[in-house]
Amino acid sequence: MVEKRIPISVKEAVTRVMQFEKEGKKEEVSIYECNGRFLCEDIVANHDVPSFDRSAYDGFAIRSVDLKGASKENPITLSVIDEIGAGQVCQKRIGEYEAVRIMTGAMLPSDCDAVVMFEVVIEGSENTQPYIIIDHEVETGTNLSFQGEDVKKGKTLVEKGTKINPGIMALLATFGYAKVPVAKKPIVGIFATGTELLEVDEPLEKGKIRNSNAYMVMAQIERAGATPVYFGKLQDVFTESYEAMKEKLESVDVLITTGGVSVGDYDLLPAIYRKLGAEVLFNKVAMRPGSVTTVAHLDGKLLYGLSGNPSACYVGFEIFTKPIIRRYLFSSKPHLQSASAILGEDFLTANAFTRFFRSTVSWKEDGLLHTVPSGVDKSNIVTSLAFANALTILPSNSTGYQKGERVNVLLLEEEAGSEWPWN
Ligand SMILES: Nc1nc2c(c(=O)[nH]1)N[C@H]1C(S)=C(S)[C@@H](COP(=O)(O)OP(=O)(O)OC[C@H]3O[C@@H](n4cnc5c(N)ncnc54)[C@H](O)[C@@H]3O)O[C@H]1N2
Ligand code: MOO
Ligand SMILES: [Mg+2]
197 lines ligand 1 (CB under 6 A): yes
**Taking a C-beta distance cutoff of 8 angstroms, is the pair 297, 303 a contact?**
yes
196 lines ligand 1 (CB under 6 A): yes
Main-chain dihedrals φ then ψ at residue 233, nearest 5 degrees: -105, 155
Neighbours of 106 (CB within 10 A): 23
Our mutation pick for probing the ligand 2 site, out of 258, 267, 291, counting the most ligand atoms within 8 A of Cβ, is: 291
Grouped pLDDT means (10 residues each) for the chain, 423 residues: 91 98 98 98 98 98 98 98 98 98 98 98 97 98 98 97 98 98 98 98 97 98 98 98 98 98 97 98 98 97 98 98 98 98 96 96 97 94 96 96 98 96 91
ipTM > 0.95? yes
pLDDT of residue 355: 96
pLDDT of residue 150: 97
- In Å, how far are 207, 234, 376, 401 from 351, measured between CA atoms? 32, 34, 16, 10
pLDDT of residue 29: 98
Q: Note the pLDDT tens digit of each residue in 317-345.
A: 999 999 999 999 999 999 999 999 999 99
pLDDT of residue 1: 75
Domains and CATH numbers, the chain: 10-25+185-328 (3.40.980.10), 28-46+159-183 (3.90.105.10), 54-145 (2.170.190.11), 337-411 (2.40.340.10)
The β-bridge partners of 325 are none
379 lines ligand 2 (CB under 6 A): yes
Our mutation pick for probing the ligand 2 site, out of 8, 269, 306, 379, counting the most ligand atoms within 8 A of Cβ, is: 379
Backbone conformation region of residue 148, classed left if phi is above 0, alpha if psi is from -120 to 50, else beta: left
pTM of the entire predicted model = 0.95
Closest CA to 371 of 326, 401, 330, 335: 401
pLDDT of residue 3: 83
Q: Note the pLDDT tens digit of each residue in 172-231.
A: 999 999 999 999 999 999 999 999 999 999 999 999 999 999 999 999 999 999 999 999
3-state SS class at 23: coil
pLDDT of residue 2: 83
- In Å, how far are 204, 318, 338, 356, 362 from 411, measured between CA atoms? 34, 10, 6, 12, 11
- Residues 183, 338, 259: CA angle, nearest 5 degrees: 70
- Between CA 95 and CA 62 the distance in angstroms is 10
Residue 262 CA, ligand 1 centroid: distance in Å: 7
Sorted by sequence, the CB contacts under 8 Å of residue 11 that are 6+ apart come out as 422
Q: Note the pLDDT tens digit of each residue in 80-111.
A: 999 999 999 999 999 999 999 999 999 999 99
- Between CA 291 and CA 3 the distance in angstroms is 15
* Buried-exposed string 6-15: b where 16+ CB fall within 10 A, e elsewhere: ebbbbeebbe
355 lines ligand 2 (CB under 6 A): no
